[in-house]
Copies of this chain bind each other. A is one copy, B any other.
Amino acid sequence: MPFSQQFMDNPKADRVKRVASLRQASVRRRLGLFLVEGPQAVREAVAYMPERVHDVYIDTSHNPHDDIISSALEAANPIYLHHVSTKVMEAISPDAQSIAAVVSSEGLIRTLDDIDLNPLNTEFSEIGSTSSDNPEKNYQPQTDLIVACWQARDPGNEGTLIRTADASGCRAIILVDDSAHPLNPKVVRSSAGSLFHIPVIQASTEEFFAWAEKHSLPIWAADIHGTQEHAPYDLVTVLADRNSGLVKPAATPIMLFGNEARGLPTEIVERAGRAVMIPLYGSAESLNLAMSGAVMMYSIAMAQHQG
């Protein structure tokens, strides 16, 4: 039975220290493992990628987490469940909300060539449906859009963008250049499990533009400035045109977001070739990155689904 009989109550035990050390990037890289904290993220890891989950640590004094435990017990490969004391859980992570998992990172973050560019198969579109044969492949994109963010540095923002890209049914999310690492615990936590649904890709700036060009995918820069030659399109106008490249795409469009503090540099907007901006109706100067992402992705998804 994949259930550790021993109750772990020593916060200074070697195993506890080892798990806690996964909060460091260097340890994660060396061991090929990462830490998943909190019920939402652990539940999705167990449900979508059970074969990646090595161990789950649970402090049941705060929350029984029965649904996660039963899913873990039913997984094809054994997931080891460890009951731990509150002190042990605190030593593992102060942000775990009484449950954490150690998960294999090998191959989880994909490359550009892994992105499926075939026409969307909306027949297979039952939300949340799972295929037990191939649990890693059950994400069904519903919206013909790829999201990319360039130098997103704040892990909370980046995790939220991953969650929104998933909720809005995008094909994939690409983290371009020096963005926050997607296996940083705060990214994982704020993605609320979406990291285990939607394909997440890392790429350099050059790789990103070369790949988009190779597949003739139009890049739209989310930017209020545009370039000297190209003023930004207004999102409302682009979406009102039912034949526009964001509503009825001939090729999958990519929406590229910039850094939370500085946005996109002009040369990147120029390479993208077209910019689109969210109108500001009140007196606010701007929206933050996570808000802009939500507005852009969802308004495009809804426009495509409205048909």
Contact = CB atoms under 8 A, between A and B. Distances in A.
Nearest to A143: B281
A198 B142 contact: no
A31 interface: no
Nearest to A280: B167
Contacts of A192: 284-286, 288
Interface stretch (A83-91, A210-218, A299-307): A299-307
Given A141-B282, A166-B282, A298 B295 contact: yes
A194 B284 contact: yes
A76 interface: no
A280 to B, nearest CB: 5
Interface stretch (A5-13, A56-64, A175-183, A234-242): A234-242
Contacts of A117: none
Nearest to A139: B283
Contact of A290 (B239, B290, B302): B290
A169 B295 contact: no
A269 B141 CA distance: 31
A162 to B, nearest CB: 9
A240 B306 contact: yes
Contacts of A299: 295, 298-299, 302
Contacts of A194: 282-284
A128 interface: yes
Interface string A184-209: 00000000111001100000000000
A250 interface: no
Interface in A215-243: 235-236, 239-240
A252 interface: no
Interface in A250-288: 278-288
A301 B167 CA distance: 21
Interface of A: 40, 48, 127-128, 138-143, 160, 163-170, 192-194, 197-198, 235-236, 239-240, 278-288, 290-291, 294-295, 298-299, 301-302, 305-306
7 contacts: A142-B281, A142-B282, A198-B282, A236-B305, A290-B290, A291-B294, A298-B299
